[in-house]
Amino acid sequence: MRAVRLRTEYLNEPLGLGNARPRFSWTCEGDVAQSAYRIVVTRDRTVVWDSGRVESSAMTHIRYGGEPLASRDQLEWSVTLWNEQGVAGPQVSSRFEVGLLDASDWTASWISGDYTPKKHQRYPVDHFRKTFSSRGEVRHARLYVTALGVYDAWLNGRRVGRVELAPGSTDYRKRVQYHAYDVTELLVDGAGGGADAGSNTVELRLADGWYRGSIGCFGPTNVFGRQTKILSQLEITYETGERDVIASDESWQWSNDGPIRCADLKDGEIVDAALVPSFSGRARVVSEELVPVASDNVAPVQQEVLTPTLITTPSGARVLDFGQNIAGFVGFTITAHAGQKITLLMGETLDEHGEFTQANMQAKKPVKEFGRATEIMLMTGNDKRVRGELQGTPLQRVQVTLREGETDYQTAFAVFGFRYALLDTDVEVDPADFRAVAVYSDMEQTGTFDCSNGAVNQLVSNTRWSMKGNFLDVPTDCPTRERLGWTGDAQVFFDTASYLMDVASFYRKWLRDMQDNQLKSGKVSAVIPYNGIAMMYDATGGSVGWADAAVLVPYRLWKKYGDEEVLREFYPMMRRYAQFMIKNTGHKDRKKAKANPHNKYVYEKGMHLGEWLEPEEFRDDVRGKILRTEEATAYLHYTMTHLAEIALHIGEFQDADLFEEYAQGAQRAYAALFSSEADIDTDRQAKLVRPLALGLDRGEVRARRAQRLVQAVENRGYRIGTGFLSTPFVLPVLTEAGRSDVAYKMLENEEAPSWLAEVKAGATTVWEDWEGTESLNHYSPGAVCQWLFDTVAGIRVAGENTFEIAPIPGGTLTYAQAEYDSMYGRVTSRWELAAGHLTVAVSVPVNTTAHVRLPNGDMHEVTAGNHTFTIAA
């Protein structure tokens, strides 16, 4: 028996880990069960920790138990497993390297371009350069870099690493991540001889990024600051053990006369390809208090590359169609004469006339930098009152002046959400000259699903693409209009996301962003990380369904990945959020408060976004001052229930009692306020789904509400009627009520609004609203995919090393299958209907067990291996 998929803090051989006592995980291959393990950690071949043989089946989150590791430590760890017969397998190893853990590890100075940025002005990309010599035989070389802005690094003309849009998005007032790169191979060794021996040049490019580029819905700029800066430390360790440090300082050359004349994360790039930076100036040393921290997350990198077809629209415009809505870069290789131009505008769709459009994703903003007052006018729909010229935002545009001969362009410091590109050029081009490159965090794909309904498979593909389009260092709502870490979206999508890809380190990083951001009151703002436009997101902060991400995400991470440390790390944040809720209970209206015996457990204060984007006929006016007592009290119950379980689990017993009191109190308050026949007798699905899903109904009310939900769905011809919050719950709630037949009809319904109506309309990603008039790349309604994995294929993680596999066939499907690379190994489930029989085939990973429940109620306990069951259909 051997260990495979060795991970250190969820990462595959991380370089620059920010953790002095990391945890190890693996999965098993061969034999049936692991009876013991032994981990040995070495540094320079010296053992720094030996766990000894531990009689245990644990294979996840085993903490390094030696002396705390130090900055730059390079470690190898190996694991030996014993099988169920006590026979040892081979020693399998992995490695990792610790990053810079202390402020004192940084000897580099922050530097910026030699100019003082002015209001209303945008600046070209900065180029920094340092030439240096290496002295002898190099053992290894590491480059540590971060920036307030976005950067890329080059050593001797070759690109360093694969990370795009580094250092990623955090609240730059509080935290900035650095990345560590292995540059040993790129360095010219000082040993040997020859004219160039030991001569090296490091170059950095610095652009605006999240720091001072436009962000959020209305695209304000300079929200974190006006002066971008960079910090770079190259450490060369020689065979002799000596170390040279090439650190950014005032000796670095600088200029901003290179080809990228303007780069904005959302608006795009303006490039003059013939320009070459002169490096005629010097960098300025600038002050900065922030101490960079390791990202400990998978980094955004270039992924799929797509080539387009060329279409000519009815008006004669030329449009490149990449066939798939993505988020990423655009690129081309074109031969032309100096000064010829090419402009590309990126968009998600064609309009009803078949013309290129950006109308579904753009808002308006002043051409000039603007402040709070303007922001308020824009947010409240008063753009008419804004003075000065307005422009669309984001522009999603690339303007390149070509050089003589071949120009090879690819976006470096902008990301676009697009499937189409409107092409404007007088150069003769071929579609094969162009490419689109998807850019997203390098998560491992962990789940696949396939069934006999091709449209359902396309829905899974669309959902996965929407995830790819939005998981770029932080989970965002959409890659176009806002590109913000909306908490509600990331919360409802967690379970689906975690089937599709390994999101553990990704969400953990985002929870740290959330922690940075929590207000003193305990309120959690609606967008994480803070993106400067605080007012809007603080006002909607605390909204139920959104802010509860502070509790629901750690909870789900714990359940799915078995990670208890996440609970402990974020418990203070969760607790403060609970206190915030508790402080704000009770009706707003005094009379109501007095009259309601359950007042203490009613929740409605603050601003709540409500169900959000139900189909048009059910939709509340989002701007109205509607009391959202129903949604808020329901979530008070739901979140307190989760919190009570968490508190109990980690031994916070007093807290657990308090949370339990509020969970039960809110349930009674809800029952008293929202369980009359008048409340239940509605066709508005969200009002029926929510209490059922969040556990608010008891006894008869529950049965009645479920029955009325079925009726509501039937009355609507099985079309969807929910918004963001309840969409993931509809099919599970119907299934639980014994009506998976109704759930299947909804899933497979092709009449709008429905998931498959989008597919039939040609969608390649998931739309924000059921009507398809807004962003076309919002993953949140794709949260239904969770049901495909956990109910249709029936795979669930039940606990450490255990699964529950309970497929529920239905609808028109004749087969369905899913594979899931869980924390405990690959589990698969496949069922097929043929000749009056249902065959269910499951495979259970080594060292785990599963309870298999067949649709006829038969239960089987199985261990590792393949198992097939056949029953009458």
Which string of x and - marks every residue 434-473 that binds ligand BGC (by CB under 6 A)?
----------------------------------------
Minimum CB separation of residue 460 from ligand BGC in Å reads 21
- What one-character-per-residue DSSP string does 22-51 give? -EEEEEEESSS---EEEEEEEETTEEEEE-
Minimum CB separation of residue 709 from ligand BGC in Å reads 24
Which string of x and - marks every residue 158-187 that binds ligand BGC (by CB under 6 A)?
------------------------------
Give the binding range for ligand BGC (CB under 6 A) out of 29-37, 350-358, 482-490, 597-605. Answer: 482-490
Minimum CB separation of residue 467 from ligand BGC in Å reads 14
Minimum CB distance to ligand BGC smaller for 320 or for 484:
484
Minimum CB separation of residue 478 from ligand BGC in Å reads 6
Minimum CB separation of residue 77 from ligand BGC in Å reads 41
Minimum CB distance to ligand BGC smaller for 488 or for 732:
488
Give the binding range for ligand BGC (CB under 6 A) out of 316-324, 418-426, 478-486, 577-585. Answer: 478-486
Burial (CB count within 10 angstroms: exposed 0-12, middle 13-18, buried 19+), residue 9: buried
In this structure, is the dihedral angle defined by the CA atoms of residues 754, 758, 764 and 767, taken in order, positive or negative? negative
The beta strands (E) that lie in 375-433 are given as 390-393, 397-401, 405-410, 416-425
The beta strands (E) that lie in 373-528 are given as 390-393, 397-401, 405-410, 416-425, 434-441, 447-451, 471-472, 474-475
Q: Give the residue among 585, 516, 578 at the shortest CA–CA distance from 547.
A: 578
Residue type, 871: I
The beta strands (E) that lie in 101-161 are given as 111-112, 126-133, 138-148, 150-155, 158-159
Q: How far apart are CA 245 and CA 234, in angstroms?
A: 6
The separation between the first and the last C-alpha atoms of the chain, rounded to the nearest angstrom, is 38
Minimum CB distance to ligand BGC smaller for 447 or for 606:
606
Query: How far is residue 278 from each of residues 205, 258, 259, 281, measured CA to CA in Å?
Result: 13, 7, 11, 8
Question: Segment 767-796, which members bind ligand BGC (CB under 6 A)?
Answer: 778
In this structure, is the dihedral angle defined by the CA atoms of residues 363, 364, 367 and 370, taken in order, positive or negative? negative
Asked if 524 and 547 touch (Cβ cutoff 8 Å), the reply is: yes
Q: Does a cis peptide bond (omega within 30 degrees of 0) precede residue 809?
A: no
Minimum CB separation of residue 395 from ligand BGC in Å reads 19
Q: How far apart are CA 795 and CA 841, in angstroms?
A: 12
Structure tokens, 8? 């250190």
Minimum CB separation of residue 609 from ligand BGC in Å reads 5
Give the binding range for ligand BGC (CB under 6 A) out of 164-172, 392-400, 475-483, 832-840. Answer: 475-483
Give the binding range for ligand BGC (CB under 6 A) out of 5-13, 185-193, 481-489, 783-791. Answer: 481-489
Which string of x and - marks every residue 39-78 that binds ligand BGC (by CB under 6 A)?
----------------------------------------
**Residue 489 binding ligand BGC, by CB under 6 A:** yes
Q: Which of 272, 482, 538, 832 binds ligand BGC (CB under 6 A)?
A: 482
Q: How far apart are CA 660 and CA 641, in angstroms?
A: 6
Q: Which of 486, 494, 570, 770 binds ligand BGC (CB under 6 A)?
A: 486
Q: Which residues fall within 8 angstroms of residue 585, CB to CB, at 6 or more apart? A: 599, 600, 601, 602, 603, 605, 636, 662
Minimum CB distance to ligand BGC smaller for 293 or for 492:
492
Minimum CB separation of residue 93 from ligand BGC in Å reads 44
Minimum CB separation of residue 612 from ligand BGC in Å reads 6
Give the binding range for ligand BGC (CB under 6 A) out of 37-45, 369-377, 474-482, 494-502. Answer: 474-482
Minimum CB separation of residue 489 from ligand BGC in Å reads 5
| Element spanning 757, H or E | helix 755-760
Minimum CB distance to ligand BGC smaller for 9 or for 769:
769
858 C-beta neighbours (distance < 10 Å), count: 11
Give the binding range for ligand BGC (CB under 6 A) out of 7-15, 48-56, 58-66, 484-492. Answer: 484-492
Minimum CB distance to ligand BGC smaller for 130 or for 266:
266
Query: How far is residue 260 from each of residues 124, 255, 474, 550, 556, measured CA to CA in Å?
Result: 6, 12, 26, 40, 43
Minimum CB separation of residue 217 from ligand BGC in Å reads 7
HSE on the CB side for 398, CA within 13 Å? 28
Minimum CB separation of residue 213 from ligand BGC in Å reads 19
Minimum CB separation of residue 778 from ligand BGC in Å reads 6
Minimum CB distance to ligand BGC smaller for 161 or for 488:
488
Minimum CB distance to ligand BGC smaller for 256 or for 775:
775
Minimum CB separation of residue 628 from ligand BGC in Å reads 12
Minimum CB distance to ligand BGC smaller for 486 or for 601:
486
Question: Segment 531-550, which members bind ligand BGC (CB under 6 A)?
Answer: 540
Asked if 780 and 726 touch (Cβ cutoff 8 Å), the reply is: no
Q: How many residues bind ligand BGC (CB under 6 A)?
A: 10
194 C-beta neighbours (distance < 10 Å), count: 8
Q: Which of 99, 331, 488, 728 binds ligand BGC (CB under 6 A)?
A: 488
Three-class DSSP category at 138: strand
Q: How far apart are CA 690 and CA 712, in angstroms?
A: 14
Angle 479-483-484 (CA atoms, 0-180°, nearest 5)? 150
**Residue 477 binding ligand BGC, by CB under 6 A:** yes
Minimum CB distance to ligand BGC smaller for 193 or for 381:
381
Which string of x and - marks every residue 492-531 that binds ligand BGC (by CB under 6 A)?
----------------------------------------
Question: Segment 563-622, which members bind ligand BGC (CB under 6 A)?
Answer: 609, 612
Question: Segment 689-748, which members bind ligand BGC (CB under 6 A)?
Answer: none
| Element spanning 834, H or E | strand 825-834
Residue type, 330: V
For 51-77, give one letter per residue: b (16+ CB within 10 A) or e. Answer: beeeeebebbbbebeeeebeebbbbbb
Q: How far apart are CA 769 and CA 772, in angstroms?
A: 5
| Element spanning 669, H or E | helix 653-674
Minimum CB distance to ligand BGC smaller for 375 or for 489:
489
Asked if 39 and 77 touch (Cβ cutoff 8 Å), the reply is: yes
Minimum CB distance to ligand BGC smaller for 480 or for 498:
480
Query: How far is residue 627 from each of residues 11, 630, 724, measured CA to CA in Å?
Result: 44, 8, 18
**Residue 202 binding ligand BGC, by CB under 6 A:** no
> Helix 699-715 vs helix 727-736: angle between axes, to the nearest 10 degrees?
120
- Residue of minimal CB distance from ligand BGC? 477
Minimum CB separation of residue 727 from ligand BGC in Å reads 12
Torsion of CA 165, 169, 173, 178, to 10 degrees: -60
Minimum CB distance to ligand BGC smaller for 601 or for 767:
767
Minimum CB distance to ligand BGC smaller for 432 or for 622:
622
Minimum CB separation of residue 477 from ligand BGC in Å reads 3
Minimum CB separation of residue 335 from ligand BGC in Å reads 41
Minimum CB separation of residue 236 from ligand BGC in Å reads 46
Residues that bind ligand BGC (CB under 6 A): 477-478, 482, 486, 488-489, 540, 609, 612, 778
